[in-house]
Every structure is written in structure tokens, then in C-alpha cells.
Chain A
């Protein structure tokens, strides 16, 4: 099994290398190669799920007695996650064949996708924190590449840069956290060796452990775009839409949740107890609420989905954070939501991609409308995805969200009510999106001329649509997601169920009534909703702050560097040397006879000293 797993990891890398150094000039070959590799990895991943666990590693770096390993750890969690990653990846690759058909830099695009698949596989299979960090950085890099795919466009180039930098800020904390945890857990990076030292931690170290866990969480804040580092994700929609589906909805952004859950599995949830877990849960809660509010006022179809992704990621992070109080069940609920979310969010993004493609790269939903009649199959799949995201029973999204809300109600009621509030907002903005874009009459040429997309794009949509309905059921899910309450005990209607059902009806009904038949947003002039539309002015605030700190400090330091250090301290040394040189320069007159007189005087002195002065 190990060899297959290594192949699973290396296949996309080899593919990327082959594209970059081999078939770069033949886009079709590059695309086919990339698709073949991802299909291969998917088959391997499925094969591995039905086999026993495995692990294997080699020494990457040695320094005396210290080593860093690169290794793969194939437990239930990793193998299941691999199926999600390669499954969504495969469908996105296939969809891309159609979506990027006429792109100038198709080879670069597919090369980037392969690099991403490699990096993501590495995160999932990593058996230690350093390896996870390595691939953590690499997914960030591939995300940078793919967001900036159309780099001639200023906004795309800026968005790519922003994504990388914001992630770097998160990774700053992540690396400190990894190092601290390394020191705390007896200097091991290996997940397999963390459990014993974590159990034996003395009470006196609770604070430092909490700080370490929070710093590690910083990495997840960056990668999973949690408040306050969420600003890069909406901008990342500048990338091609399939990329948004794969990286910025289904897999990479969920890596933060995966990483935290991996840590919980490895070291136990005890290290999340206390302020660390609570802070994480609250950050998740705040993100889910803020993002849902912002989503209600976006006009760009992809941005609505981006904010909904943020909101759903907030749910997952909230669940993982609750694990500090609730134990591993809460984390499992988060992972379950990650799994269902991956399918239906990929579906929604690919669906929006199909719409954008059909409308000739128009992304403003107010310029669409009436697409149901022109592209019914796409619309049907999109509707399924919408329902799943709204958490309508019995679609997949419902079950997983139910679990999270149940955990919240039990262990942190305020967060439950935030979650319930978001459960109203989600159907509201999704209904707005669906009604405005697909129902009513076309409001622009693009929408009028829209046609159903070709099968190469439609088939992935249909597959994902099916999965969005059934993926939560035990038949499929039990071997892929970590054990959880739902699969263990089944479902019983309780208070959480009634509340979320009420929320769904309220939100969806409100959205439908408010937006049905409208051609512009009736809430656009409401000052509160203006605030949502402008994302609480957070981007502007950050820009100001960054401008104030980074650039002002840089300028001040530059000035001081020139003036103080170069001019005064070190320059003073140079000047005193120069002054000394000036004095000696006087002696060197260039006058031959002056030298001769000195020379003669010198000889006289020597004669005097040697002959007379003895």
C-alpha cells in the first residue's frame, strides 16, 4: 500500500513537471496529461480507502541526532480526505477541459492544478507538522499561481499577491505554534508520537499550551480565511472559476479545519480545553455571521458564493473549536460538514462557472435572469446545490449542519443562536441569488444568448448534484468521513431540527418574496445593508492600517538608515578617516626640491644620531 500512496503523492508532481518541462507548447496534451493524472490519483485514493492503514517515511534532513521526516500517514481520516480531494479535483479537472478550452495559457493552468493536487495531497497525508507546513506553503503558492492565472489583469495580479501575503501572516503564527508545540510535546513533530506527551502535560503548562494551540490556529485563520484574515478569499475569485471551486471552496480552504482536526486526533482534544478552544469557536462563530451578512449584498455571483464559503468554514471552525469542551465528537461534526460542503460547494461554483461561461464571462447576477429556461439542466443542478447549502432536509448539507448546531446548543448556547441566525441568512442570500440569476426575464444580452453548456462541463455538475443529495448517507460516507453521531445513532427530530427548519423557511421565504420579479436590489439604499455591501469597510481599514504601518515604518526606517546609520554613525568614521588623510595630504606637496630638503635633513639627522648622539 505504501508504494501506491507514494505514487498518489508524486503522480501530480510528475505531471506538473512533465507539463512545465515537456509539453508546455502543446496545451491539449498538457490538459489530457493532467486529467489522466488526477483520474489516476482518484482511483488510487478509492483503492486505499478499502485497504488497511499504512505509514511510511524517509529522512529529509539530518543534523546530528535531529532529523526531519517526510512521511505519509494513511489513517481513516487521511484516506477519506484523499477521496474528497481527488474526487472534487477530478471533476474540476474535467470541467476545466470545457471551461478553459480557449485559454491562451491552458498548459500553465493545468500545470498549476497539478501542483495544487500534489500540495493538497501532501497536506492530507503528512505524518508530521513540518511536512504539513511544507505543503501548507505549497498550496498557498499554487493558489497564488492560479488566482494570478490572468496576470495581465491588474486586479488578478493584486488578488494573487494579497492571498499569498495574508496567508503568510497566518503562517507566521502557525510556524511559531508548531515550534512551541514541538518544545511542549517533547520535541517531536510526528503526529503519531504526540498522544503520550500530550496526556502527560502538567497543569502548570495549560496557558502555554493554549497559546501554542492558538498560534497554530493562526495558520488555519489564514488558510481557511477566518476573521480577521478573511479578506483574501473574496478577492481570490479573480481566478478562473474551476479554481475557485477546487481550491477556494472545496479543498484548500478546508485545510485549516483538517489540520486542527488532525491535531485533535493526534494529541487528543485536551490541549484545546480552556481559552484556546473557546477562542477558536468564537472566531468561527464571528466569521460565519459576518460572512453571511456580507453575502446578502453581493452582486457578483462568485462573490456571493465566496462569502457563503467563508460562512460555512466558520461553522466548521466553530465545531472544531467546540471540541475543547465537547470532545472529539464536535470535531467530527466539523469534518462531516467539511465533507458534505466540499461536494455541494464545488457544485455551486462549477454551476456558477457554467453560467458565467454561458453568459460570456458576465459575473453580475443582475445582468443575468431567466437562465432556467435557457439552460435547464445546469439550473437543476444549481438548485440542488442551493438546497444543500440552505440545509434543506434531507440533502447532505442538512445532516452535517444539524450535528454542528446540536454540539453548539449543548456546549455553547450563544454560539448556537449565532449559528441559527446564520441558518436564516444562508437561505435568504441563496434564494436571492437563485431568484435573480435564474428566474424572471433576461436583463442583458449575455443572458439572452445563453445556451446549455457542453457535456464535458455538464457531466461533472450532474455527478456533483447527485453527491450533494446522497453524500451524507452512511453507504457512502461511513468509509470516508470520521465516525460521528449521525452515522452512529441516526437522526431524531429534536429542538435543533425544528429551529433550523423554521430558519430555513423564514430565510428562503423572505428571500423569495423580496427578490422575486425585481431587477435591482430593494435593500441597496438601506444604510445597514450598505455596510454589508461594503464588507463592513474592513478592506479599506486594512489598507489604511497596512499603509500606515508597513509603508510609513518602511519610509521612516529608510530615512533613518540613510541619515542616522549611514550618515552619522558609520559615516562619521569615514569622515574622520578622510580628515586624517587630508592632514597627511599636505605633506605630499609634489615639489621635488621640498622632498630633497626633507631628505637631506633626514640624512643629517641619521648621521647625527648614529655618529654623535651615542
Chain B
């Protein structure tokens, strides 16, 4: 069985990939996917900690895993809203490139 360190390493890698994608990619859908990646990284961390944090009865601490379910549910809702916004944005502006979406500039 893989150790906690390995889980955390994979999670960190996922998070870094996500962050890098958010920072460098221009397409807003890709950015959005990268955000989801970062969210998954957090989920993975939670599950890993849960698995390795066994109580006196030898069972894992399920609180972390329940929280992951919550996050997945909320993330699904968020994706639905987020994608809807992106579609609306595309309809309005005919682009999903963040370089072109600078109407908030002061």
C-alpha cells in the first residue's frame, strides 16, 4: 500500500498542474478545467488523510471522506453554473480568451 507521502505528492502535483494551467492558459474553459483539477487535488488530500488517520478501533476517520462528497456535490453545481456563465459569455462576446475579456480595467 502506498504511503501517505505518495498520496500527498500526487495531490501536490495535481494542484501545481492546475495552478500552472490557471496562470498560463488563455482559454477560459481550460482555466475552468484546471480549477477543477485543483479541487480534485484538495479532495485527494482529504481522502488520503482520512485513510491514514485511523482511530483507536482501527477504522479510518470518515469525516474527511464525507467532506469530499460534499465538495463533489457542490463542485458539480458550481460547474453547472460556471459553464452556463461561460456559454453566456461566449454568446455575448464571441470569445473565451481571457486576454480579450478586460472590461473591468480601471
Contact = CB atoms under 8 A, between A and B. Distances in A.
A588 to B, nearest CB: 4
A588 B24 contact: no
A577 interface: no
A238 to B, nearest CB: 64
Nearest to B102: A590
Given A591-B98, A593-B24, A593-B98, A600 B104 contact: no
A590 B19 CA distance: 19
The main secondary structure of chain A at its interface with chain B is helix
B106 A600 contact: no
Interface in B12-31: 19, 22-24, 28, 31
A584 interface: yes
A593 B104 contact: no
Nearest to B99: A591
Interface size bucket, A side?
A: 10 to 19
A597 B22 CA distance: 9
A584 to B, nearest CB: 7
A590 B103 CA distance: 6
Contacts of A588: 104-106
A569 interface: no
A147 B103 CA distance: 66
A591 B106 contact: no
B101 interface: yes
B23 A597 contact: yes
A402 B8 CA distance: 125
A592 B26 CA distance: 9
A584 B105 CA distance: 11
Contacts of B98: 591-593
Contact of B106 (A584, A593, A597): A584
A29 to B, nearest CB: 72
Nearest to A595: B104
Contacts of B105: 588-591
Contact of B23 (A584, A589, A596): A596
Given A584-B106, A593-B23, 11 more contacts: A588-B105, A588-B106, A589-B102, A589-B105, A590-B102, A590-B103, A590-B105, A592-B31, A593-B22, A593-B24, A600-B23
Interface of A: 584-593, 596-597, 600
27 contacts: A584-B106, A585-B106, A587-B106, A588-B104, A588-B105, A588-B106, A589-B102, A590-B101, A590-B102, A590-B103, A590-B104, A590-B105, A590-B106, A591-B98, A591-B99, A591-B102, A591-B105, A592-B28, A592-B31, A592-B98, A592-B101, A593-B23, A593-B98, A596-B22, A596-B23, A600-B19, A600-B23
